[in-house]
Amino acid sequence: MSFKTLPREAGITDDSVTVAKLKATGTPSNTTFLRGDGQWATPAGGAGGVSDGDKGDITVSGSGATWTIDNGVVSLAKLSATGTPSASNFLRGDNTWAAPAADAPVGAQYLTLAADATLTNERVLTAGNHVTLADAGAGGAATLDWRYNYAKRQTVYSEMVIIQPWVSQASGTSAAVSSTTTGLSDADHFGVAQATTGTTTTGRAALSGSTIDMVTFGTIASRITGEFKLPNLSDATNTYTAFFGFNDSYTALGVDSIVFTYTHGTNSGKWQAHTRSNSTTAGGQDTGITADTNWHRFDIEVNAAGTEAKFYIDGTLTNTITANIPTGTARATGIICGIVKSAGTTARVMNIDFLAFESEVNR
């Protein structure tokens, strides 16, 4: 204690009062504090800590030992990440706000081995009647292999070295179908059969199946394909009609047919596509292809349901017909590739390079 210079005035110097000078009960220590009632005591919460309870955004428990941040209280502004948060940025594992690399779109077209719930436009690759698929699993190979399955497809085919298994249908003097005529093998046409009408005015010649009702539509997909040429076109003196396709007559457009026809006096000499069911016809549709004396390939495809017939010339789709397609066993039809004369006595011919029929079967 010291005295100031003024008489009768005394004061306590700063920082001079020790704990021992304090008038208080209890024992001062490093764990006790002087309460307002003059008592040295340990605060609630232990050892000078914070008492348990909800402190706003933090909850204290375990006698002040555990501090837990409440759910939903840490805002983006409180995060220590670099970069700028936005609607297009995401917090990466390196504590950076960044736009993720663009993923492949889920609506794009993909070829997969199984359906994927995350995709909306995928196609699943599966094995078929004549194709096998071996999947080695993730990281391995998916191998496609082709093997003709005789149990699932029927095929009738000839390169015309011999005409079998097709059957010759001919009527008239010297009318015939022959694969032995000298000089018919043109370049790239190995084996050619010649169907000749002979000299009879109504002579005819064609290749066909064994019967005129061997093909039934409506349960399996079917296709006929062939290549031929007409060395002489039909005219007013020697008139004929050429047929190719499915027909239940050897002499005319049949009761049930899906067939190409040509004659010079109809459709300006252009090929026509026909469908007929029980004599009800969709009419001869114009293919847009004018007949000539060159080699041409013809195809007709009928879908399994028997609701659509597609006509092709030299690989180009010329007509799609969905009406009057004969279906069911009562409307069974046959196969024809040939020529029918209706005027003149000079033989007219069709040279046939190959003829094939195929269909998927359920056996």
b/e map of 155-176 (b: 16 or more CB within 10 Å)? ebebbbeebeebebbbbbeebb
Does 183 score more than 70 pLDDT?
no
Q: How many CA atoms lie within 13 A of 228 on its CB side?
A: 29
Does 1 score more than 70 pLDDT?
no
Joined tokens for residue 39: 């008592």
Does 332 score more than 70 pLDDT?
yes
How sure is the predictor about 341, in pLDDT bands with cuts at 50, 70 and 90? very high
Does a cis peptide bond (omega within 30 degrees of 0) precede residue 165? Answer: yes
CATH number of 154-360: 2.60.120.200
Give yes or no for a contact between 319 and 178, defined as CB atoms under 8 angstroms apart: no
Give yes or no for a contact between 341 and 202, defined as CB atoms under 8 angstroms apart: yes
Look at residue 182 in the predicted model and tell me its pLDDT.
52
Query: Residue 260 forms beta bridges with which residues?
Result: 244, 273
How sure is the predictor about 258, in pLDDT bands with cuts at 50, 70 and 90? very high
Distance of CA 348 to the CA centre of its chain: 47
pLDDT-above-90 percentage for the chain: 50
Look at residue 3 in the predicted model and tell me its pLDDT.
46
Does 265 score more than 70 pLDDT?
yes
Taking residues 53-61, what's their average pLDDT?
78
Taking residues 147-170, what's their average pLDDT?
87
In this prediction the pTM is: 0.65
Tokens 């000298």 — which residue? Answer: 182
Report long-range pairs for 8-12 (Cβ below 8 Å, ≥24 apart).
none
| pLDDT tens digit sequence for 73-119 | 677 777 778 888 887 787 787 888 787 776 777 777 777 778 877 78
Report d(CA 60, CA 49) in Å as an integer: 10
Domain layout of the chain by residue ranges: 110-146, 154-360
State whether residue 215 is helix, strand or coil.
strand
Taking residues 128-147, what's their average pLDDT?
78
H/E element, 289? strand 285-290
Does 6 score more than 60 pLDDT?
no
Look at residue 9 in the predicted model and tell me its pLDDT.
57
DSSP secondary-structure letter at 269?
G
Give yes or no for a contact between 300 and 275, defined as CB atoms under 8 angstroms apart: no
Look at residue 23 in the predicted model and tell me its pLDDT.
80
Report d(CA 126, CA 134) in Å as an integer: 10
Taking residues 130-151, what's their average pLDDT?
78
